[in-house]
Amino acid sequence: MTTYEVNFDGLIGPTHHYGGLSLGNLASVEHRHAASSPRRAALQGLAKMKRVADLGIPQAFFPPQPRPDLAFLQSQGFTGSTYEIISTAYKSRPDLLSIAYSASAMWTANAATVSPSSDCADGRVHFTPANLQTMPHRALETQPTTRTLRAIFHDASHFVVHDPLPALPDSSDEGAANHTRFCRDYGLPGVELFVYGRDHSDEQSAQRFPARQTRVACEEIATSHGLCSKRCVFARQHPKAIDAGVFHNDVISVGNQSLHLVHQYAFAEQDRVLAELADSFGPDLQQVVISNQELNLSDAVQSYFFNSQLISTGPNQMLLLCPIECSESAAASQLVASLLRADNPIYDCQFVDLRESMQNGGGPACLRLRVVLTEEECAAMPSSVFLTQQRYHELYDWVSRHYRERLTIDDLAEIRLHDEVAIAMHELNEMLGF
C-alpha cells in the first residue's frame, strides 16, 4: 500500500497581526505593532500550499481558529457585551486583546507531535496536541486544535488523538517544531528525534530567552505513542542557539527521510546525538553539519534557512523550499548553492514569498504539520481538508472577499472587525462542512 507524507498547513486567519507576543522569537518582537496585511499573508500561504500540491504532494490544511477568544478576555475579568469587552480590553490591556485576536495557530508545526502507524505499537497514527503553555497567546490554541484534530482524524480504527499534556512547567510541549522523523521510506518504521531545551533535573542554561520544550514532555509523548525506545533519540538544544533566537529546533535543523541538515550549534551534545541517530537508523543516514562559519547563528535565524521544507519528489530526490529571505542573504544563498553541488538528494531549490508570516516569526516549515498516512488512512479523513484545484480557487476567493488588506493593533478595538471575522468564519465552516 502506498504511503504519503501529507502536509497540513495552517490557513492564515483574518486577524493576522503583529502583536510581538513571542519572547525569544526575534522577528515577532522586531515587528511588534507594525501594520500587517492579513489578505496578503493568507494568499502567500495559499500560494505555498498550491506550489506543493502542484508537485503531486498531498496537501491539506487546517482552518483558522475562531477569534477573538472572548472566553479568554472574560477569564481576565472583562465583562459585559461583546463590544464592551473588546472596548474595555483595548483601553486598559491592549496586550490581552492582542492575545485574544492572535492568529498564531497558522503555524501548525506547533499543533501536535505525530507518529505514523508504522512506528506505533498498535498500528495506528498517534497525535499529541501541543500544550504550548510557555506563551499565553499560543496556549489558547490547544483545545481548539484538539477538537480540529479529532474532527479530521475521527476514525478510531486508524487514529488516536491524545489529550494534550498537562500545562505544567515540567511537561511543556511545543509540538512537531521540536520533532523530526527519519526513514528510508515513509511506509517503513522510522527513527524519531525529540528535541528539548530543558530537563527537570537541572537548571535552564539558556540565559536570554526561555527554553520552551522539556525532556519530560518528549518522553511522555514517545511512551504514549507506543514507540520503540531503540528508535527514539532525545537531544537537548544548544543554549547558545536558544539565546540567539532559536526558539524551536526547526529554526536550526531540518530532516527528511535519510537526509539531515543540522547546524553546528543545534544540540548541546552534538557528537553524541548524531552518533545515536546514525546507530539507530543505520549507515544510510546522511547528516550534513553546517558550520557556524558557513552560516552563523544570526544569519540562520534571520534567513530561516533551516525552516525550509525538504520535500521528497521521487526516490532519493528532494526539493528544498526556502523562504525568499534566503535568496537575499549572501551566506544562505551560498549555502544553498553548495548543497546543490554536493552529493546529496537535493536536486533543486525554490524560494517562496512568505514575508507576512516571516515578519511574525514563522517560515515555510512553521506553517506545516507533516502527517505520514497510508492510502487507507487518507480515505478515512474528510476530503474537504485537501487542497484540490477547486478548493484552492474557493479559498482564494474567500480570502479576497473577507480579509483586510491592512490591520493594525488599533483596529482590534473595532467591533466591525469582530463582525467581519464572524461572517467570514461562518462562510468557511459552511464551505468545509465540518
Grid coordinates representing 244 are 540567539
Percentage of the residues of the chain whose pLDDT score is greater than 70:
99
Q: How far apart are CA 236 and CA 391, in angstroms?
A: 41
Predicted pLDDT of residue 26 = 83
Predicted pLDDT of residue 51 = 98
Q: What CATH number is attached to the domain comprising 351?
A: 3.75.10.20
In this predicted model, what pLDDT tens digit does every residue of 152-169 receive, in sequence order? 999 999 999 999 999 998
Percentage of the residues of the chain whose pLDDT score is greater than 90:
92
- Mean pLDDT across 168-185: 96
Whether 129 maps to a domain, the answer reads yes
What average pLDDT does the structure give for the chain?
A: 96
Q: How far apart are CA 129 and CA 173, in angstroms?
A: 9
Grid coordinates representing 207 are 540565559
In this predicted model, what pLDDT tens digit does every residue of 395-425 receive, in sequence order? 999 999 999 999 999 999 999 999 999 999 9
Whether 388 maps to a domain, the answer reads yes
Predicted pLDDT of residue 354 = 97
What's the Cα-to-Cα distance from 48 to each of 82, 275, 336, 346, rounded to whole Å? 35, 35, 19, 19
Whether 233 maps to a domain, the answer reads yes
Domain that holds residue 61: 3-67+102-432
- Residue 202 — pLDDT band, cuts 50, 70, 90? low
Whether 84 maps to a domain, the answer reads no
The answer to whether residue 29 scores a pLDDT higher than 70 is: yes
- Residue 431 — pLDDT band, cuts 50, 70, 90? very high
In this predicted model, what pLDDT tens digit does every residue of 273-304 receive, in sequence order? 999 999 999 999 999 999 999 999 999 999 99
- Residue 203 — pLDDT band, cuts 50, 70, 90? low
Predicted pLDDT of residue 209 = 84
Domain count for the chain, please give it. Answer: 1
Whether 141 maps to a domain, the answer reads yes
Whether 74 maps to a domain, the answer reads no
In this predicted model, what pLDDT tens digit does every residue of 310-360 receive, in sequence order? 999 999 999 999 999 999 999 999 999 999 999 999 999 999 999 999 999
The answer to whether residue 83 scores a pLDDT higher than 70 is: yes
Cβ–Cβ < 8 Å for 252, 299: no
Q: Which residues are catalytic?
A: 174, 248, 366
Q: How far apart are CA 214 and CA 197, in angstroms?
A: 6
Whether 73 maps to a domain, the answer reads no
- Mean pLDDT across 226-255: 96
The CB density around residue 222, as the number of other CB atoms within 10 Å, is 23
For residue 62, the surrounding DSSP H or E stretch is: strand 59-62
Is the omega angle on the peptide bond into residue 136 within 30 degrees of 0, that is, cis?
no
List beta partners, residue 232.
192
Predicted pLDDT of residue 223 = 98
- Mean pLDDT across 26-51: 94
Whether 81 maps to a domain, the answer reads no
Grid coordinates representing 141 are 490554541
Annotate 116-169 with DSSP letters as a single string: -TTTSTTSSEEEEE---TTSHHHHTTHHHHHHHHHHHS--TTTEEEPPPPPSSG
Q: Which of 187, 176, 178 is nearest to 123 (CA)?
A: 187
